[in-house]
């Protein structure tokens, strides 16, 4: 039986497409995890433990909050952050379908039963052709860089803010109060 093939070439192609998408998505999630850990300056073990308890949506929310916390951001920067996070959420929607649905090969890609839909509709399936899988893989790859770039910007602004706070504290420490002045 070892020499006998149990999967058709179409089934092998479907397994490859599904596995490849899930692999690329897991790498994207690892980039998000590492970015949040770096931004918050957590020890790796502590940060990794924290990330285990957050679902993907919560990680996106946290990354978005960290990015938008800077009140000096312009409208265009805010829009770009929202766009980046929106892409991440779209990947998560696809990931949920791919990871939680029964699937089978089609002539052009993979058909997924729509797991979790509670609507009474005649067709509950979704099909992704090979071109969509390829496009998603490329978009996920670009998003690794987008997340890393966003994290670097947040980290830089955090450092600049921290340095500014230290300078202000140092200046206040050097102020000598007069006999008749009152501290605030």
- C-alpha–C-alpha distance, residues 86 and 146, integer Å: 12
Task: Pick the range with the lowest mean pLDDT from 45-59, 98-112, 155-169.
Answer: 155-169
45-54 pLDDT, tens digit per residue, is 999 999 999 9
Q: What is the pLDDT of residue 118?
A: 60
Confidence of residue 177 (pLDDT cuts 50, 70, 90): low
Q: What is the pLDDT of residue 34?
A: 95
DSSP count for the chain of H helices, then E strands? 5, 3
Beta strands in the chain (DSSP E): 103-105, 109-113, 125-129
* Residue 41 backbone zone (phi > 0: left; psi -120 to 50: alpha; other: beta): left
CB 30 within 8 Å of CB 47:
no
57-103 pLDDT, tens digit per residue, is 999 999 888 888 766 677 888 888 889 999 999 999 999 999 999 99
Task: Pick the range with the lowest mean pLDDT from 8-12, 65-69, 172-176.
Answer: 172-176
Average pLDDT over residues 139-162: 84
Tell me if residue 165 falls in helix, strand or coil. helix
């Amino acid at each position: 039986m070892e020499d006998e093939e149990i999967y058709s070439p179409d089934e092998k192609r479907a397994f490859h497409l599904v596995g490849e998408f899930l692999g690329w998505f897991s790498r994207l999630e690892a980039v998000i995890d590492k970015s949040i850990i770096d931004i918050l300056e957590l020890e790796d073990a502590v940060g990794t433990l924290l990330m285990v308890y957050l679902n993907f949506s919560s990680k996106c929310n946290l990354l978005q909050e960290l990015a938008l916390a800077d009140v000096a951001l312009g409208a265009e920067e805010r829009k770009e952050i929202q766009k980046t996070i929106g892409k991440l959420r779209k990947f998560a929607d696809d990931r949920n379908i791919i990871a939680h649905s029964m699937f089978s090969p089609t002539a052009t890609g993979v058909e997924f039963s729509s797991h979790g839909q509670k609507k009474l509709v005649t067709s509950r399936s979704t099909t992704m052709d090979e071109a969509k899988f390829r496009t998603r893989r490329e978009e996920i790859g670009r998003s690794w860089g987008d997340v890393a770039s966003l994290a670097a910007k947040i980290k830089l602004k955090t450092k600049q803010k921290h340095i500014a706070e230290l300078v202000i504290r140092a200046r206040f420490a050097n102020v000598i109060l007069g006999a008749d002045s009152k501290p605030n």
